[in-house]
Chains A and B, each alone.
Chain A
Amino acid sequence: MRFGIVVFPGSNCDYDTLHVLKYVFKQEAFFLWHKDHDLKNADCVILPGGFSYGDYLRSGAIARFSPLMQEVKEFSLSGGIVLGICNGFQVLLELGLLPGAMLRNKNLKFLCQNVHLRIETTDTPFTNKGKPGQVLNIPIAHFDGNYYIDGPGLDKIKKNNQILLRYSSAEGHLTKEDNVNGSLDCIAGLVNENRNVLGMMPHPERASETLLGSRDGHIIFDSIIYYIKNDR
């Protein structure tokens, strides 16, 4: 399976993602330069974490205008699997491939910590290896992860079952304390209506090796690999 990882100036989780896909999951993985116009026949495109363009203007706002984003948009509209992690999620929101926007964390702090996430639906290419209600332990590292969407928008993503991951307690309860960044409805990750584009603030690539504390991120990558191999 071929994973293309988009590199923007300021991306800093690109090498982690490449490492995990290549050496942990034994997949073909390669970088895609944001100024190119070629996805190199990737089966899955990943927008990694980092601080594209220094987060100037708004997080993800300038990366959105990178030449390669046109191809990523077309790829997603034709059903291609796209995963945006952290800053990649912010880019997908600015690009309009996912609904909503990010505000600064409610406590105005950069949050770098492990969080618990509850899987809300397994009916996606990204969570088919999980169980509904299963709790994952995956780290976050962001300043702008306070998800916002207006009332009608929230109703719509709920109705379509687009919310994939919610911040929760270790037991899977939704509490104010566990919703560390103040996200609306504890939203940590959501898919588009066609369910082929996922944006998530937590970093599954940082939770893929036991040595680094957690391998719960496997659910996400294993699901993608399974989906592309079988369900397509």
Chain B
Amino acid sequence: MKVRVLVSFKESVLDPQGQAVKNALLTLGYDFIKDVRQGKVFELELNDISREEIDKVIPEISHKVLSNPIIERFEWEILK
């Protein structure tokens, strides 16, 4: 089983790296770009584990380890 966790900055937090990417895209002429937020992707490969356990444990480790809840938020999905 594979799970993907996406971590990105909260809306209220300034993302200087996202801003730099946005400015680069604007410089290249992609003037329809409104905003860019940069984040991190984690792909976790899991041993045999029930769906109920996944629902419990993935938010737990995303909150505790993969993200810093003060500045970041996360979402996750099961890949296969």
> What residues of chain A have their CB less than 8 Å away from a CB belonging to chain B?
57-58, 61, 65, 94, 100-101, 103-108, 146, 148-150, 182
Contacts and interface: CB of A to CB of B under 8 A. Distances in A.
B16 A101 contact: no
28 contacts: A57-B66, A58-B68, A61-B65, A61-B68, A65-B65, A100-B70, A101-B68, A101-B70, A101-B71, A103-B13, A103-B14, A103-B16, A103-B71, A104-B16, A104-B17, A105-B16, A106-B16, A107-B16, A108-B16, A108-B17, A146-B16, A148-B13, A148-B14, A148-B71, A149-B70, A150-B12, A150-B70, A182-B16
Contacts of B14: 103, 148
Interface of B: 12-17, 20, 65-66, 68, 70-71
B42 to A, nearest CB: 9
Chain A binding surface, main DSSP class: loop
Nearest to B9: A103
B49 to A, nearest CB: 22
A61 B7 CA distance: 14
Closest 9 CB pairs of A and B: A101-B70, A101-B71, A104-B16, A101-B68, A108-B16, A106-B16, A108-B20, A58-B68, A148-B71
Contacts of A61: 65, 68
Contacts of B16: 103-108, 146, 182
B5 to A, nearest CB: 12
Contacts of B13: 103, 148
Contacts of A148: 13-14, 70-71
Contacts of A100: 70
A182 B16 CA distance: 10
